[in-house]
Structure 1
């Protein structure tokens, strides 16, 4: 019998999920088991799957930081000179192998991957339910590897150091084994395989959007193809997004209301029934009183004008880019703007605090939205060289938000501008620029590294010295 030892302390709180058995709270220290003894039934598999969902919702991943990184490293948000501590190295892009304190998701990402591996490699009969569990786990593993590549490797578009990706965690788990970095193409190969399995075996619909579906896997795979940009990937991305738009179950559909209050409430209403489990949402994280990053770490703490560490503001120039009738313009607030900043910024109202019994927290963090299918389809058309059709589709989408039409004079810039208007505060701006190997020009409200050229080392996070001591085979990225 192969003896795979693992830690299961991370899943002790799984009774917060409705589908998880409460008997998991009976586990006793030292929380170590042999894998064959721990997974004896599909119920056991589900416990590990729920643990994987719980892990990916931690503050170092999609609970908070994956939103911050995309905003702070981009050109749309800035840190106020008032009421905000930390994240200095991200704001100024002065991180290096010694100074990586603000970059704290590497270990958590591999915790997600290892938890997913236990589900994926369970040896129970592959019933339909077991394959569904594996599909959800493979999605969670895929999106985690994708984020690791996005931050720890150069973009495929840059052509730089394509042999230096991230380590692929082996199974069975061996804590003493040192793993080298795989090539970017090999990691993408695994990601694509995982997402195709999820498309084939995940449920078409669920009662709650906190669980992975076929639609989520299709949308994520379209994002992967648009980023990898191998021959044929643009067409595959187009096929997936067109299928989502035209053939998704009725529980998924584009938010089309042109009423400002309705659009704002989707993001920031204090009522779960208004803001959560909505048709526009494809996948969101379960944030509630029990499964909650806490008063010091949730998104609302930093983004909301009432947050205890409030200080992330949108630039005035970005706010001014919205037409006066654009429904997204109402997702900003000028109440109590800090006067210490020059020029002053604008509060965002996407991650408002919502008072509930037991504490303040945001509504469920929205990770994938139906709108992305439309804008990913536009990108796919652009990558296919179908610029006229891409511009038509882009302006059709903008009109649904009462937004301004684009001329197409610089079509890629128009596409990325519309994406920024739709997904600001959702962690995508930096990744959009990196995907096309574009520079970052931060302009105002910038304390350092304000103009970052394409291909700069600051597009790639360094491994910390501690990580390299633990796993010297991983090697530092050549840019560092």
Structure 2
């Protein structure tokens, strides 16, 4: 049987998601074969642009499931820190309740599978075809390096969601991961082990690192520093602490942390000096009410934002010092004077002001999207060093970040579990809304605990999930099970 999500969109996506109009006009058919797409490095770059574009379009016809940025919101909503104050809008509520990813036929379960395998399918075509493209060797290297990194990025997301957590103490991790498809093929494959998937992720990133440089025309594209950042994330997840710290330092080279003033500018501009990688939202690529800032910003004039402003977990917020600029990213007691909302918008306690678009209200959802920031790399270094027992190095990395947010912050003297908790607290605050909480809980083998905060029981429904419970695994979508007889389901 054919692996459904790998075959329906591979060739067509090379055309329909391309960002270069001249390439579209020269190949105006419904699909483009690999030979045409990769005949030249110019065409190949257009095809790679199409893969990046595929990261942010709507999937399964759903306005609220707009690719990777939707997953950033969903994975935070599945944690305890991103809170919905009411259920006036149903977008992402099934995900928050841990219902969507445990239903084989739900959009919330199927979308990430289709999204990341679509990227993988197109990356496989690029990797298999680019060596024969006419053009400069440096251009071929760039295309191949980006394709390898995009494939690794996608498998990293997939294995974290559909597989069990990686456990460095239980190597090799023989638990089922996801099908490991490395060629542009159509037959369905069985699930590779979690260990095998991570081995391939690391191999792809190492190969990409050898091909890419720091140079690039746009921050929306992957360069060497982005690869190093992905290597840092993967190493952290695999509990490979020394590599995680080393890669994190390399990834942030050349990127400066935001000033206090820059931190309050709305997290919607890719020109920010701290952003290593992000989506540069162009006017001709609008998703309107299916865009990231339509669901996460404080002031876009959408029904979701007007009725259900995003708020922070009250227990987390109440720990942020008032001297810390991050305390201004949410408003505990919002008023017309201290919070920006669209006309007629609800003001809820602890409401978000971190993500904000120009204008009051904003009638455009054209905000850029942060995929990777230097701040994350400081946090990875700090956590990795702390887990190695290097308290001084961990505290220094944390200080280098937090002192830029809070001039009153003092170098931590904590060690062991207390130091790790301080790092975790800052990670939760710093990366709120950027898609890390669910996978952070899973990789650290921590339970979900929404008790004692401002989480509304009628909205969240679910308050506790033990560490290691089967609910931490997304189910393999029913459409994939029907199409691929080689695959097996996760425990129901």
Match of 2:222 in 1: 212
User: 3-state SS of the aligned residue for 2:83?
Assistant: strand
Judging changes above 3 Å, is the alpha-carbon distance between structure 1 residues 150 and 299 closer, same or farther for their aligned structure 2 residues? Answer: farther
CA distance in 2, matches of 1:120, 1:29: 23
Deviation at 1:396, TM superposition (A): 3.9
**How many residues were matched structurally?**
449
Match of 1:192 in 2: 202
Match of 2:304 in 1: 309
Q: CA RMSD for the aligned pairs?
A: 2.9
1:139-158 alignment, distance < 5 Å = 139-157=149-167
Match of 2:35 in 1: 36
Confirm or deny: 8 A CA contact 1:216 1:282 kept in the other structure: yes
Match of 1:350 in 2: 354
CA distance in 2, matches of 1:112, 1:85: 28
Judging changes above 3 Å, is the alpha-carbon distance between structure 1 residues 31 and 21 closer, same or farther for their aligned structure 2 residues? Answer: same
1:241-280 alignment, distance < 5 Å = 241-245=248-252, 248=253, 250=254, 252-255=255-258, 257=259, 259=260, 261-265=261-265, 267-268=267-268, 275-280=269-274
Match of 2:448 in 1: 440
CA displacement, residues 147-192 of structure 1 (integer Å, 9 cap, x when unaligned) = 1111111111395974200111241322xx1111111111111111
Match of 1:380 in 2: 384
Deviation at 1:422, TM superposition (A): 0.9
Confirm or deny: 8 A CA contact 1:153 1:460 kept in the other structure: yes
Deviation at 1:423, TM superposition (A): 0.5
1:60-209 alignment, distance < 5 Å = 60=65, 63-95=68-100, 96-98=102-104, 100-103=106-109, 104-122=111-129, 123-124=131-132, 127-157=137-167, 162-174=174-186, 177-209=187-219
Q: Does 1:236 align with 2:243?
A: yes
TM (norm. structure 1) is: 0.85
CA displacement, residues 2-37 of structure 1 (integer Å, 9 cap, x when unaligned) = xx9975433445664xxx46132343334253x334
User: 3-state SS of the aligned residue for 2:289?
Assistant: coil
Judging changes above 3 Å, is the alpha-carbon distance between structure 1 residues 42 and 30 closer, same or farther for their aligned structure 2 residues? Answer: same
Which residues of structure 2 form unaligned runs of 5+? Answer: 1-6, 59-64, 342-346
Judging changes above 3 Å, is the alpha-carbon distance between structure 1 residues 118 and 130 closer, same or farther for their aligned structure 2 residues? Answer: same
Of residues 213-222 and 300-309 in structure 1, the stretch that sits farther from structure 2 once superposed is: 300-309
Match of 2:283 in 1: 289
Judging changes above 3 Å, is the alpha-carbon distance between structure 1 residues 238 and 64 closer, same or farther for their aligned structure 2 residues? Answer: closer
TM (norm. structure 2) is: 0.83
Match of 1:271 in 2: none
CA distance in 2, matches of 1:5, 1:367: 27
1:417-436 alignment, distance < 5 Å = 417-436=425-444
Judging changes above 3 Å, is the alpha-carbon distance between structure 1 residues 117 and 398 closer, same or farther for their aligned structure 2 residues? Answer: same
CA distance in 2, matches of 1:7, 1:238: 36
User: 3-state SS of the aligned residue for 2:216?
Assistant: coil
Match of 1:319 in 2: 317
Confirm or deny: 8 A CA contact 1:300 1:351 kept in the other structure: no
Deviation at 1:432, TM superposition (A): 1.3
Deviation at 1:395, TM superposition (A): 3.4
CA distance in 2, matches of 1:392, 1:118: 44
CA displacement, residues 110-131 of structure 1 (integer Å, 9 cap, x when unaligned) = 1111111111111416812101
CA displacement, residues 294-337 of structure 1 (integer Å, 9 cap, x when unaligned) = 22443333542543212232123222221101111222242479
Q: Does 1:366 align with 2:370?
A: yes
Confirm or deny: 8 A CA contact 1:382 1:390 kept in the other structure: yes
Deviation at 1:223, TM superposition (A): 0.7
Match of 2:344 in 1: none
Judging changes above 3 Å, is the alpha-carbon distance between structure 1 residues 37 and 101 closer, same or farther for their aligned structure 2 residues? Answer: closer
Q: Does 1:451 align with 2:464?
A: yes
Deviation at 1:208, TM superposition (A): 2.3
